[in-house]
Amino acid sequence: MQWETVIGLEVHTQLATQSKIFSGASTAYGAEPNTQACNVDLGFPGVLPVLNQQAVSMALKFGLAVGAEIGRRSVFARKNYFYPDLPKGYQISQFELPIIGKGSITIELADGEQKVIGITRAHLEEDAGKSLHEDFHGMSGIDLNRAGTPLLEIVSEPDMRSIKEAVAYARKIHQLVVYLGICDGNMQEGSFRVDANLSIRPKGQEAFGTRTELKNINSFRFLERALKFELERQIDLVESGGKVVQETRLYDADRDETRSMRSKEEANDYRYFPDPDLLPVEVEEELLEAIRAELPELPDAKRQRFEQEYGLSDQDADGLTASRPLADYFEAVAATGAEPKMAANWVTMELAGALNKAGLGIEASPVSPQQLGGLLARIADGTISGKIAKQVFEAIWNGEGDADAIIEAKGLKQITDTAAIESIIDEIIGGNPKQVEQFRAGKEKLLGFFVGQVMKVTQGKANPGQVNELLRKKLAP
């Protein structure tokens, strides 16, 4: 039997507001447990939630960026369930009337193909606290710092047909919310978490199969592994005569498996009802226009512009627009007059490699875009070769100054004086009669040996083009 995979994702993004969605407590990560939970977050009797307007604006930003229907009137609802990390006994969420309705996002697949994935809705809600099972001598503790952190839950249509598509979608949403500045995207800290729903059906069948929901996924690698495990589990189960039951499963990264957590609850199990403490949210045209005007250039538009304006390949444009700071860095290098393709190469290879090795982000690059531009100018005008440039780059990285100063101080100027190169070549030819004989007898490979000798004597500073040309002339039989 040929099986088709069907996947839909629910992404929880923590919104990058200073304070919580219904209280003034700080959302900063990493504080001592229970130092950032006020009476509202703790659900004390008599307290009242007050909606954070920033959270609403951020949700609207996302909605506009994915071309979604905006819920001009949305309503907060109570989702009732009992859990130790939820002291109120209910989570404030949105149910029937979410702030963001239907939209879509386009993903790129490895073969360059594009696919539109539907977004069903995105709603505002509050995060719950966290149970801490470690460091408590076998006991569990509750940290309510996270309680009340604003979340935008982005629900996709079951439009993905492979694990690759699901990962590409999750990455695309991640890139977008970080671009928009509405989420810091830090997956280790739980700012971006994915619940994945997966089902299988015989190829050609229209009706969807029964899905399971996988929770606890906080990296793209785990998403891929959890889906892979679950896909195989479902196929094995069905092929051996079993039936998939709708349930929530937990992905255990240590054991690389999914385990049943609980049978899936239905919406009516939650006894949703409008929260009487909060007014409906009415979004006025003016606010929407103001937010629209503030939208940054989005990743897709930026990528296309990079291809057109700078003549970059799809791959380069894609890599350079992966994040806004990286794209900004590249544009600053290009603005120095550097040839774009060359600038792209240096940013994505040399610089990215060095940053990666040092564990630094582009914002912390020790080499400024102006300094890199200055270096590229000296390659372009022939002052130094590409090889020497790597040496100069390292010196700039180490804080030794700008390219010109380093080239001067270290005497790295390229030797382009033909007479000088010729006399070095003559000496080398004189000193290696055996190799000369072999070369003249047809052992062409030896040209590399001679080039190497010249470079050794000149410490790599001889112009490679000239060296090649002069060597061929002088070595000709």
Nearest of 279, 280, 281, 283 to residue 64 by alpha carbon: 283
Q: Which is nearer to ligand ADP, 7 or 281 (CB)?
A: 7
Quote the tokens at residue 302.
Answer: 């930026």
What does each C-alpha distance from 79 to 49, 90, 126, 210, 400 come to in angstroms?
15, 5, 11, 24, 60
Stretch that binds ligand ADP, among 7-15, 223-231, 304-312, 326-334 (CB under 6 A): 7-15
If binding is defined by CB under 6 A, does position 57 make contact with ligand ADP? no
Q: Which does 145 bind (CB under 5 to 8 A by kind): Mg ion, ligand ADP, none?
A: none
What does each C-alpha distance from 468 to 79, 160, 430 come to in angstroms?
75, 55, 17
**Angle at the Cα of 133 (from 128 to 137), degrees rounded to 5?**
145
Nearest of 210, 202, 253, 201 to residue 229 by alpha carbon: 253
Q: Which of 144, 198, 238, 396 binds ligand ADP (CB under 6 A)?
A: 198
Three-class DSSP category at 407: helix
Q: Which of 17, 19, 145, 199 binds ligand ADP (CB under 6 A)?
A: 199
If binding is defined by CB under 6 A, does position 9 make contact with ligand ADP? yes
- Give how many residues touch ligand ADP by CB under 6 A: 15
If binding is defined by CB under 6 A, does position 68 make contact with ligand ADP? no
- For residue 228, the minimal CB distance to ligand ADP (Å) is 15
Query: Measured in whole angstroms, how far is the alpha carbon of residue 236 from the centre of its chain?
Result: 33
Q: Which does 9 bind (CB under 5 to 8 A by kind): Mg ion, ligand ADP, none?
A: ligand ADP
Build a one-symbol-per-residue string for 3-32: x at contacts with Mg ion by CB under 5 A, - elsewhere: -------x----------------------
Residues 467 and 415 sit within 8 Å (Cβ to Cβ): no
Task: Please tell me the distance from the alpha carbon of residue 398 to that of residue 322, in angstroms, as a whole number.
Answer: 26
If binding is defined by CB under 6 A, does position 167 make contact with ligand ADP? no
Task: Please tell me the distance from the alpha carbon of residue 8 to that of residue 397, in angstroms, as a whole number.
Answer: 45
Q: Which of 4, 10, 108, 328 binds ligand ADP (CB under 6 A)?
A: 10
If binding is defined by CB under 6 A, does position 6 make contact with ligand ADP? yes
- Give how many residues touch Mg ion by CB under 5 A: 1
Q: Which of 197, 234, 321, 463 binds ligand ADP (CB under 6 A)?
A: 197
What does each C-alpha distance from 412 to 130, 392, 450 come to in angstroms?
58, 9, 21
If binding is defined by CB under 6 A, does position 7 make contact with ligand ADP? yes
Q: Which is nearer to Mg ion, 213 or 316 (CB)?
A: 213
- The alpha carbon dihedral of 416, 418, 424, 430 has a sign of positive
Q: Which is nearer to Mg ion, 170 or 428 (CB)?
A: 170
Q: Which does 157 bind (CB under 5 to 8 A by kind): Mg ion, ligand ADP, none?
A: ligand ADP
User: Residues with Cβ < 8 Å from 142, sequence gap 6 or more?
Assistant: 34, 84, 85, 129, 130, 131, 132
What does each C-alpha distance from 73 to 55, 56, 101, 198, 263 come to in angstroms?
15, 12, 11, 32, 33
Task: Please tell me the distance from the alpha carbon of residue 432 to that of residue 454, in angstroms, as a whole number.
Answer: 12
Q: Which of 141, 158, 190, 325 binds ligand ADP (CB under 6 A)?
A: 158
Q: Which is nearer to Mg ion, 10 or 184 (CB)?
A: 10
- For residue 152, the minimal CB distance to ligand ADP (Å) is 14
Build a one-symbol-per-residue string for 385-424: x at contacts with ligand ADP by CB under 6 A, - elsewhere: ----------------------------------------
Build a one-symbol-per-residue string for 201-230: x at contacts with ligand ADP by CB under 6 A, - elsewhere: -------xx-x-------------------
Task: Please tell me the distance from the alpha carbon of residue 116 to that of residue 162, in angstroms, as a whole number.
Answer: 14
User: Residues with Cβ < 8 Å from 242, sequence gap 6 or more?
Assistant: none
Stretch that binds ligand ADP, among 42-50, 156-164, 166-174, 271-279 (CB under 6 A): 156-164
Residues 422 and 375 sit within 8 Å (Cβ to Cβ): no
Q: Which of 155, 178, 347, 425 binds ligand ADP (CB under 6 A)?
A: 155
What does each C-alpha distance from 151 to 22, 185, 326 come to in angstroms?
12, 12, 27
User: Residues with Cβ < 8 Å from 172, sequence gap 6 or more?
Assistant: 105, 106, 107, 299
Q: Which is nearer to Mg ion, 29 or 270 (CB)?
A: 270
> In which residue are the tokens 């859990």 written?
83
User: Residues with Cβ < 8 Å from 174, sequence gap 6 or more?
Assistant: 185, 187, 192, 220
If binding is defined by CB under 6 A, does position 119 make contact with ligand ADP? no
If binding is defined by CB under 6 A, does position 8 make contact with ligand ADP? yes
Q: Which does 6 bind (CB under 5 to 8 A by kind): Mg ion, ligand ADP, none?
A: ligand ADP
Q: Which is nearer to ligand ADP, 153 or 350 (CB)?
A: 153
- For residue 174, the minimal CB distance to ligand ADP (Å) is 16
* Interface positions with Mg ion (CB under 5 A): 10
* Interface positions with ligand ADP (CB under 6 A): 6-10, 155-158, 197-199, 208-209, 211
